[in-house]
Structure 1
Amino acid sequence: MSEVLKFLQDNKVFYLATVGDDNQAHVRPLGFVMEYKGKLAFCTSNQKDMYKQMEKNPKVEITCIDDKYNTLRLSGKFISCTNKESQQKALDIMPMLSNMYSVDDGKFEIFALDNAKAYCMDMTGHKKELTV
């Protein structure tokens, strides 16, 4: 997992895809990731369509590209891991989140990917499976 976590942290912005009620794929940028209880964890608001889409269809995919055009693809199933501990850890890691969220505010959600699989592919097409 450390290689995947480092890739996402080093490249700052990555993109999460969900499927909406219209059966259309929807992609949006994320910029927060942490390790929580052995899983990659992310945050969002439960007021956003993204969160509602993940609750209805938990299959998601994240992609990220580095400055050498290596591409990371990470897929898994959304699982909520929101609690005071996970929220506080996120705020400790990225204090600017406190501009939008606080512990137990009723909207701050922490989620992880269950059964996650990750692959990194370079420009030549060489594909490497990473441990998540």
Structure 2
Amino acid sequence: MSDIKIVDDFLSKAEVFYLATTKGDQPKCRPFGFHYLEEGKIYFTAATFKEVFKQIQENPKVEIVAYDKENDTFLRYYGIAKIVKKDKVVEKAFEEVPEIKEFFVKHNLELGVFYIDDATAEIRNELDIEKSYTFKY
């Protein structure tokens, strides 16, 4: 199994994970659920009108944290968010959560797509890093 697939599987198992950004010098963290592995990258989405997307544009340093209750481990996945145009990822997000598609279409809104570059993913227990992976695209 590839390193990025291990990270993707961890996110899937956690179901909900938390994305941290900053606004000025204030950290901001919010729950996310959608992610999509394609061509060796994990893609995430955020509404372009929301603060989280604006924060990513202003300061692309982000961190994701997820918890695996079964194994009592957590994932820290951090690096530089790269915003890209990926219609396939948007379509996949709308397929998985059809109610947001209706809302976005009705209000003529856009769903932004990003992946994390220059990234480190650490699978950790309470005391140590069990596994660490790096990704540079």
Please indicate, yes or no, whether the TM-score normalized by the shorter chain is above 0.5: yes
Number of the residue aligned with 1:7:
10
Structure 1 unaligned blocks of 5 or more: none
Say whether the 8 Å CA contact 2:36–2:89 is kept in structure 1: no
Q: Which of the two has greater strand per residue?
A: 2
Distance 2:119 2:103 in 1: 28
| Cα RMSD for the two superposed structures | 1.9
How many Å apart are 1:124 and its aligned residue?
4.4
Runs (4+) of structure 1 exceeding 4 A deviation are none
How many pairs does the alignment contain? 128
Contact 1:63 1:71 in 2 (8 A): yes
Structure 2, gaps ≥5 residues long: none
**1:42-80 residue CA offsets vs partner (Å, 9 max, x unmatched):** 011011111000000000000011113201000011111
Between the two structures, name the one with larger relative contact order (CA 8 Å, sep ≥ 6). Answer: 1
**Quick one: percent identity of the two aligned structures?**
30
Q: How many angstroms apart in 2 are the aligned matches of 1:8 and 1:123? A: 18
